[in-house]
């Protein structure tokens, strides 16, 4: 059941369906942004998605989902294929650069809703791919 919830989450992501993604989250969802701050709440997550949609065009491929025996903790491994559309503050200028990154995410699920999303990818690799030498 919960693996199906995560499949829905990533299907909505690939479809650009922010509302579909948000509908799967608990009101107080905890969002740990890769090498960034922790944000709490569906409203904050919606702001994050809006910002991401402005700066990036991404698809998730090669998705593998795993869960623990309790049915509450899950992990995803995948590849992000994207284009950098608009400069994200603190990052290099955007010129439509393409990138391809291995990534992972961890989830907690309670009561049929996602209560935590923690995402990881190699920021130095992304910077190298979009043209900033590190």
Give 22's contacts (C-beta < 8 A, 6+ positions apart).
Answer: 42, 45, 46, 49
Q: What is the Cα–Cα distance from 28 to 24, expressed in whole angstroms?
A: 12
The three-state DSSP-derived secondary structure of 11-80 is HHHHHCCHHHHHHCEEEEEEEECCCCCEEECHHHHHHHHHHHHHHEEEEEEEEEEEECCCCCEEEEEEEE
Q: What is the Cα–Cα distance from 26 to 60, expressed in whole angstroms?
A: 22
Task: Indicate the range of 19-23, 39-43, 86-90, 100-104 predicted with least confidence.
Answer: 86-90
Q: What is the pLDDT of residues 14-37, one digit of tens each?
A: 999 999 999 999 999 999 998 888
Q: What is the pLDDT of residues 36-75, one digit of tens each?
A: 889 999 999 999 999 999 999 999 999 999 999 998 999 9
pLDDT at 76 over 60: yes
Domains (ranges, CATH) in the chain? 2-129 (3.10.450.50)
pLDDT at 134 over 60: no
Higher model confidence: residue 111 or residue 1? 111
Q: What is the pLDDT of residues 118-130, one digit of tens each?
A: 999 999 999 999 9
pLDDT at 90 over 90: no
């Amino acid at each position: 059941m919960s693996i199906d919830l995560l499949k829905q989450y990533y299907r909505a992501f690939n479809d650009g369906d922010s509302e579909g993604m948000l509908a799967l989250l608990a009101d107080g969802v905890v969002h740990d942004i890769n090498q960034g701050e922790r944000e709490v709440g569906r409203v904050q997550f919606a702001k994050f998605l809006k910002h991401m949609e402005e700066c990036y065009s991404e698809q998730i491929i090669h998705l593998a989902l795993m869960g623990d025996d309790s049915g509450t903790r899950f992990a995803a491994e995948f590849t992000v294929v994207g284009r950098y559309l608009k400069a994200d503050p603190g990052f290099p200028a955007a010129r439509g650069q393409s990138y391809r990154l291995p990534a992972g995410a961890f989830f907690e699920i309670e009561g049929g809703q996602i209560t935590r999303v923690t995402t990881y990818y190699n920021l130095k690799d992304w910077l190298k791919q979009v043209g900033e030498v590190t």
